[in-house]
Amino acid sequence: MTARIGVVTFPGTLDDRDSLRAVRIAGAEPVSLWHRDKDLKQVDAVVLAGGFSYGDYLRAGAISRFSPVMETIIEQAKAGLPVLGICNGFQILTESHLLPGAMLRNNHLHFICREQKLRVENADTAWTADYSAGQEIQVPLKNMDGRYVADERTLDELEAEGRVAFRYLARGEAADGYGNPNGSLRDIAGITNAAGNVVGLMPHPEHAVEPLIGTGRTDGLGFFTSILKKLVNA
């Protein structure tokens, strides 16, 4: 049986089609999910795609957190459903308290759009198993509210428990995709929950899955092949 991966669309979501396409390229069946529908259509995993849900009013992801679909996702994620939050999806995961911390306005107060180099810190999650710890990848980044923050105790816990999933590469030139693009504390680009089934990151792996589209790289495809292999082997 083919694994079914749902992608949620909220008002203002921009990258749901890209995420559905990435799921299809990886070999799973993409399933569109609407924010007002509590039914997840028996999907095996969920992607919260990027964009500006509800126009990012109040705080990015703050209104989407209360959409009917999130009631089901929160409940099932706590029971083990794999969930990936990309950019605005990451913001929604923090607002839903499925991941700790918060996302604030970039420290330079500008929208940023560029290719971004990352280091994989945790290759043991449901969404990162096709990578290796220490591997460097490059995927697009585009955000206005991308600065990850948390109190020192939470940051120390994330570090001690190996729950920092991705970090911005600090060496090299910013023009080449290096450096912290938004002021995220400890150069954190993505994190995971303790169980490893919920992962959030600001950069966009769904824009780097085909050699002829987007960046011309396929560094982001590993997210979608990772979850597919986990579901098939479960």
pLDDT, tens only, 147-165: 999 999 999 999 999 999 9
Listed range (14-28, 85-99, 171-185) with the worst mean pLDDT:
171-185
Cβ 4 vs Cβ 31: under 8 Å: yes
CA distances from 232 to 20, 225, 226, 227 (A): 18, 10, 10, 9
206 is catalytic: yes
35, 115, 206, 207: the catalytic one is: 206
Q: For residue range 171-181, list pLDDT tens digits in order.
A: 776 667 889 99
Structure tokens at 175: 């023009």
Q: What is the mean pLDDT of residues 69-74?
A: 98
115, 121, 204, 207: the catalytic one is: 204
Q: At 45, is the pLDDT very low, low, confident or very high (cuts 50, 70, 90)?
A: very high
Listed range (17-26, 47-56, 113-122, 206-215) with the worst mean pLDDT:
206-215
Q: What is the mean pLDDT of residues 66-74?
A: 97
87, 95, 121, 207: the catalytic one is: 87
Cβ 201 vs Cβ 163: under 8 Å: no
Q: What local confidence, expressed as pLDDT, does residue 174 receive? A: 66
Q: For residue range 172-226, list pLDDT tens digits in order.
A: 766 678 899 999 999 999 999 999 999 999 999 999 999 887 667 899 999 999 9
87 is catalytic: yes
By percentage, how much of the chain surpasses pLDDT 70?
97
Give the H or E element holding residue 95: helix 88-95
Closest CA to 227 of 135, 125, 80, 88: 125
